[in-house]
Structure 1
Amino acid sequence: MPVNAVTSLLIILAVAATTFATRAVPFLVFPKGKEIPKVVEYLGKVLTPAVIGMLVIYCLKDTQIMAAPHGLPELIAVLAVVVLHVWKRNNLLSIGAGTVLYMVLVQIVF
């Protein structure tokens, strides 16, 4: 469905305003010098690992262990991500290399 120029501009403005608001609201709600509530500090510590854990489970939920290749590409890619992350401590490198390795394994090897 084609979108005219005015609609495109309105969409861009809405996305820009929403993005700006999500960046600015925390500074308005928690100004400098005001103590951050303990629950917000707790969520800041636990949400990142929880989201990563959910993403890992989501990515591996449809792995076919009973049929060939028995989850080997997934296992090799996950091990590569873990080893790279423990070694280099670089999220972009470990996730990127794991994704490329998985695609090579699935498309070429298995």
Structure 2
Amino acid sequence: MTTDGRRRELRLPRLLAVLALLLTTAVAVRPGVAAADAAGLGGDYVAIPKGVDLLDTRDGTGGHTGVVGAGGVVSFPVLGVGGIPASGVSAVMVRLVTTSGTGSSWLRVY
């Protein structure tokens, strides 16, 4: 066998070994679960646990029950609720869901 043939023969196993190492490292290095201000520097993302609602007008969660009429405003607590820290929070990401609408409407969130 020639030297060139031997080199080509060794390339594939080496390439596969490197790819396997990279894939193993990529799978093993996953970011940890976010915790409130883990480093004490601020700017951390803290996810609200699944199943926690800050406002639900169907059952009164958040302090309001029932339909919100035309021009209605609903305010509800966010800080210190559902795992959100009570202080040191500069922003909150929310997901809005409407159910059982009785007509055309829209939401403004601020």
Global fold match (TM > 0.5): no
Structure with bigger helix share is 1
Q: Given the two structures, how large is their TM-score scaled by the length of structure 2? A: 0.24
Q: Given the two structures, how large is their TM-score scaled by the length of structure 1? A: 0.24
